[in-house]
Amino acid sequence: MRTSDEAYFRTCVAQERRLAHLLGHHNIEELHDSAGVLWEGNQALPKWTRCWEACGPLIPRYKLNITYGRDAEDHTITVGHAIVHCSEQPSPDHALRHAIVKAVIHLLEHAHHKPNQ
C-alpha cells in the first residue's frame, strides 16, 4: 500500500540524510519549505532516491547487483540485501532508486560495524 505524497517525500529525504551521514557529512540542515536539506559548503544534498543523476553513480561505485523478481503478490526489486516492492512506490523507477539507496546504506552500516583487523 502506497503512502501519501508527503509521507513518501519525507521517507525519501530521511534516506538521503541517512546516506549523507554515513558518507561522513554531519552538518546537514533541513530547510522547512524547500526540497529538504543542504550539507557542508551550502551544496544541495543529492536526491539519491529521487533523481537518477544522483543515484546512478552509486551502482558502479558500490558494485551493486540488481535483480528483478516476482513474489506471489507483487513485483520486487532486490539490490544486495535490500528488497523493495514496486507496489509500495510511485513507479518501478522509484522502487529501483529506493532499493539502490537502501543497499548502499546497508553496505556502509555494515562496513562501519566490522572490527578492525
Sorted by where each starts, the structural domains of the chain and their CATH numbers stand as: 5-113 (3.30.2120)
> What's the Cα-to-Cα distance from 86 to each of 24, 40, 55, 99, 106, rounded to whole Å?
30, 33, 17, 10, 19
Q: Which pLDDT value is given to residue 4?
A: 77
| CB neighbour list of residue 54: distance below 8 Å, 6 or more residues apart | 46, 47, 48
* Most distant CA atoms of the chain, gap in Å: 47
Q: Which residues pair with 79 in a beta bridge?
A: 66, 82
pLDDT digits (tens, 9 = 90+) for 56-111: 999 999 999 999 987 677 799 999 999 999 988 999 999 999 999 999 999 999 98
